[in-house]
Amino acid sequence: MIERAGLIWAIVNPDTQLEIEPFLKGYDEVLSTFGFKDWKFFSKRQFKGPNWKLSYDGYLGYYHVPVLHGETFGRDMTNRGVYFTWGPHQHIKTPAMTPGHVATETLGYMAAIADRPEDEWDLETLSYGVWTVFPCISIASFGGGGRGVMISQVIPGERVGESTTFQYYIMENLPATQDLAESAEEQFAFLQEVVEREDIAQA
Ligand SMILES: [Fe+2]
């Protein structure tokens, strides 16, 4: 077990030969730009699903988003993703702009700062998108009630057709007002709804 990028990394199989540090391939260095070591725990949820690989599929690409999440995220969401990889871990951004959706602004922003010095880069904007940790963890940025991420772990169950999803909501700052707290709670309730009623139901 080690701590990197403000996260605790562990392998639950005590017989594993895998070493965590080489497995990270530098991904932890990129994730450290979030500054998770100073972030705060907001809430967590837990629910059952089918086979873990199917349950995890929704975190691996945007292809399904405008169709499966048309009623929630909206049908104008892009279905395309651009992938950046560190070993088996990947960061997904969208190549297209979708007005009003923060996660889609990142590629345009990257193009705009390509020639600018690094100390002018806005790391918060660069961090938008979905960060997956192979094989079953995802970190996705959201803004309800302030800057936050949903960290999802999809853990296989006793049988092949069973899994448990753990969702952790971590925020850069805990909501300072009742209104912000309600926005954060709404955001995370919405995300649970989307994952449970759409991704997992479809899986
Ligand atoms: Fe999904």
Q: What is the pLDDT of residue 21?
A: 93
Q: What is the pLDDT of residue 3?
A: 96
Q: How far is the CA of 114 from the centre of ligand 1 (A)?
A: 30
93/130 Cα distance (integer angstroms) = 7
Cα end-to-end span (Å), the chain = 32
Q: What is the pLDDT of residue 114?
A: 85
> Which residue carries 């279905």 as its tokens?
79
Q: What is the pLDDT of residue 89?
A: 97
Q: How far is the CA of 63 from the centre of ligand 1 (A)?
A: 9
Q: What is the pLDDT of residue 34?
A: 96
Q: How far is the CA of 173 from the centre of ligand 1 (A)?
A: 26
Profile the chain (203 residues) by mean pLDDT over runs of 10 residues.
94 91 95 97 96 94 92 87 93 70 66 89 88 96 94 96 97 97 96 94 93
40/183 Cα distance (integer angstroms) = 16
For the chain, domains (ranges, CATH) are: 40-202 (3.90.380.10)
Q: How far is the CA of 117 from the centre of ligand 1 (A)?
A: 35
The whole-model pTM stands at: 0.91
